[in-house]
Amino acid sequence: MTCWVARTFPDEPPLKFLFLKSPLNVGGVPLTGFPLRLFNYGDRFAPRGKTVVQALLHTDWNFWKDLRQDRTAYEAAKNSLAAEVLERLEAHYPGLTAQVEVTDVATPYTTWRYTLNREGAFMGWVPTPQAMRTQIRRTLPGLDHFYMAGQWVVPGGGVPPCLYSGRQVIQVLCRRDGKKFSTSVP
């Protein structure tokens, strides 16, 4: 849930994790807390005096996919989720709800619609201890000259590891071609 509010947060960290006194239930998933991002570290996210606030909620793909069949119910669920998140944030930032000027609730279905990522995943594999220790090969057996980079070969995904995986593919190609891997700063 993202909103744009008419206030600033000069003394707040840009990312924190909020633990909730009682779980927030979203489509059968009880959330005991969520990361909260305050885009207060640059002047390009919102006009002067305003801030983009984002709560990241891990919810269920099937719940939103099924609900999307009924557009009215889907929109109502998004509105009610935004209201509930703001209610939880009010405890930390009194008056926040009245300062909201724009609200955007992107569900897993939204992410799927834009990216076609499996079940609306916004990153790659869930970074479990086992996944984080697993090395995923950058090639596929029987498919020559094919190399993979991106969020499905670096568990957890995210922009920095994905960029790094592209660099690793170049290293693999250099080794294959007997060339020295080198970099330069543009």
Ligand X SMILES: Cc1cc2nc3c(=O)[nH]c(=O)nc-3n(C[C@H](O)[C@H](O)[C@H](O)COP(=O)(O)OP(=O)(O)OC[C@H]3O[C@@H](n4cnc5c(N)ncnc54)[C@H](O)[C@@H]3O)c2cc1C
- Under the binding rule (CB under 6 A), the answer on residue 123 touching ligand X is yes
3-state secondary structure of 58: coil
Q: Which stretch binds ligand X (CB under 6 A): 8-16, 136-144, 153-161, 175-183?
A: 153-161
C-alpha 151/C-alpha 161 separation (Å) is 8
52 class by beta-carbon count within 10 Å (0-12 exposed, 13-18 middle, 19+ buried): middle
> Using the 8-state DSSP alphabet, how is residue 176 labeled?
H
Q: Which stretch binds ligand X (CB under 6 A): 28-36, 64-72, 73-81, 150-158?
A: 150-158
Residue from 99, 111, 139, 168 binding ligand X (CB under 6 A): 111
Q: Which stretch binds ligand X (CB under 6 A): 60-68, 83-91, 94-102, 151-159?
A: 151-159
- Under the binding rule (CB under 6 A), the answer on residue 158 touching ligand X is yes
* Helix (H) or strand (E) segment spanning residue 2: strand 2-5
> Of residues 6-35, which lie at the interface with ligand X (CB under 6 A)?
none
Residue from 5, 107, 151, 155 binding ligand X (CB under 6 A): 151
- The sign one gets for the Cα dihedral 180, 181, 185, 186 is positive
In the complex, minimum distance from the CB of residue 159 to ligand X, in angstroms, rounded to a whole number = 4
Tell which residue, 87, 84, 90, has the closest CA to residue 59: 84
- Under the binding rule (CB under 6 A), the answer on residue 159 touching ligand X is yes
Q: How far apart are the first and last CA of the chain?
A: 37
- Under the binding rule (CB under 6 A), the answer on residue 157 touching ligand X is yes
C-alpha 128/C-alpha 134 separation (Å) is 10
Q: Which stretch binds ligand X (CB under 6 A): 45-53, 58-66, 84-92, 154-162?
A: 154-162
By CB under 6 A, name the binding residues for ligand X.
111, 115, 122-123, 150-151, 157-159, 162
